[in-house]
Structure 1
Amino acid sequence: MGFFLPTSPSLCFAITHAHSLSYNFTISPQPRSGQPWCEVQGQVDGNVFLSYDCGHAKIQFTSPLGEEVKMTKAWERQTETLRDVGDLFREQLPDVTSENDRVTDPLTLQGRMTCRCEEDGHISGSWQFGFSGQMCLLFDLENGHWTVVHSGGRPMREKWEKDRAVSNFFKKVSMGDCRAWLQDFLVRWEEMSTTMGNSSINSTATAIKHITWILHVVLTSFIITVFLG
């Protein structure tokens, strides 16, 4: 679910297809041994490019784009912001799970932030929240409304819609930080695509030359064999 934001097309340079950047947060109140209390998974167009352990500030890059991302100026600020989001969720978790005390196992809190660059250059964004795989709450970035889609999201809405600081924080991260990161990533992505495209062209050209040389040798050998045979 996305909402258009009043931004200039220059913030998202000309592209031929829409692209999205998402961060999936998982907060575990009682993590198992060796399990981080906060995990973040970064995705570009649904493809995972990094995993981040908020508590220990450990990053695992899972694609060439991830390796490129760590070269950007925004990367240090990005990791700080992701850690801040994780800390906020951890602070809020006891209160927003108050109606779920009947549950034996501790609930994990999930948050999904998405920003999307449309083909016309505009940016849209959204937040989704849930518990243990069940989506419960949506945050409308355009009008600041909270929508409960499952009863488990009611405590979150009642707490967060009254807390202007929390709402403003979610808006800032999604409407400001996320779209800036997406722009940087798209620049890197375009550069990578161009480089890979040129490499592919050069490889194809080399292969054609190699095949041509082989055919020339074979043809020459055939002619010699015919004349000397």
Structure 2
Amino acid sequence: MGGPEACLGFLVLLLIVWFSGTHGDAHSLSYNFTIDPQPRPGQLWCEVQGHVDREVFLSYDCGHAKIIFTSPLGEKVKTTKSWETQIETLRDIRDLLYDFTLEKPRVTDPLTLQARMTCRCEDDRHISGSWQFGLNGQMSLHFDSENGHWRVDHPGGRWMKEKWENDRAVTDFLMRVSMLDCRAWLQDFMVLWEKMLKTSASPTTGPPRFQPRATAIKPKAWILPVVLTSFIITGFLG
């Protein structure tokens, strides 16, 4: 049954399937909050940036409820049924973070609070969610929404962990928003994006400016391993 050449051909075929299979189908949605209860003149006390696959699609002045959509996707997002609910949730997050800044032990210190909520749908459809919190630009506390665990990444996050770790209402809120709400929003955004690709990609207009990450490994990323492996196998079987 088949000689070395047949075995070599079969192994190379397996390698091609392995390396050229669809990868990178993971997508992510994140909202980055900055809360400054004592802003300098001309600065906002509450700002939010929305990212899909690390591309900014909106900038939100959450103190004055002013939204600037920075991509065609953002313009489409505001037409979804869940958009108003999403804005309400972002306001709830804003209020939670603002109240938290007022509870800082040394209230005389300059304080800017950052928070980043992220949900990610992996290529195997597994959903993960997380939060990061920081003070004055230093991210110092991580919350894993899947298991409810808090992790201090910098000493500045220790008092935040002590404040929130035993607050069941806060923990449940963070888990729900990043694992359930965020997941539904991301799915809506991806549906919109696929529709935009179908309707906007033409020889004259081209695709929308916002583009998700590549959904497959480019040929140059897998050809070299396959060729090298072929030479190695040939050396053993030759």
Distance 1:149 1:142 in 2: 18
Deviations 1:13-50 (A, max 9, x none): xx972111000000001012232211110001111000
Residue 131 (structure 2) aligns with? 127
Partner residue of 1:55 out of 45, 51, 63: 63
The one of 183, 189, 196 aligned to 1:192? 196
Deviations 1:38-72 (A, max 9, x none): 11100011110001111211100000000000010
Report how far residue 203 of structure 1 moved: 6.9
Partner of 1:46: 54
User: Offset of 1:101 from its aligned partner?
Assistant: 5.7
Relative to the length of structure 2, the TM-score reads 0.73
Of the three residues 153, 165, 170, the one matched with 1:166 is: 170
1:121 offset after TM fit, Å? 1.8
Q: Pick the aligned partner of 2:145 from 130, 141, 145.
A: 141
SS of the aligned residue for 1:142 comes to coil
SS in structure 1 opposite 2:79?
Answer: coil
Pair member with larger Rg = 1
Structure 1 stretches of at least 4 aligned residues deviating more than 6 Å after TM superposition: none
**CA RMSD after TM alignment:** 2.0
| Identical pairs, percent | 67
In the alignment, the residues of structure 2 paired with residue 203 and residue 114 of structure 1 have an alpha-carbon distance, to the nearest angstrom, of 32
Measured in 2, the distance between the counterparts of 1:41 and 1:180 equals 18
Q: How many aligned residue pairs are there?
A: 185
Q: Deviations over 1:122-181 (max 9, x none)?
A: 211111110111110000212211111101001110010011111111011101110110
* Structure-1-length-normalised TM-score: 0.76
Mapping for residues 1-229 of structure 1, pairs under 5 Å: 17-95=25-103, 97-98=104-105, 103=109, 106-197=110-201, 199-200=202-203
- Show structure 2 runs of 5+ residues with no match: 1-22, 207-238
The answer for unaligned runs of 5 or more in structure 1 is 1-14, 205-229
Secondary structure of the residue aligned to 2:43 is coil
CA contact (8 A) 2:128 2:146 kept: no
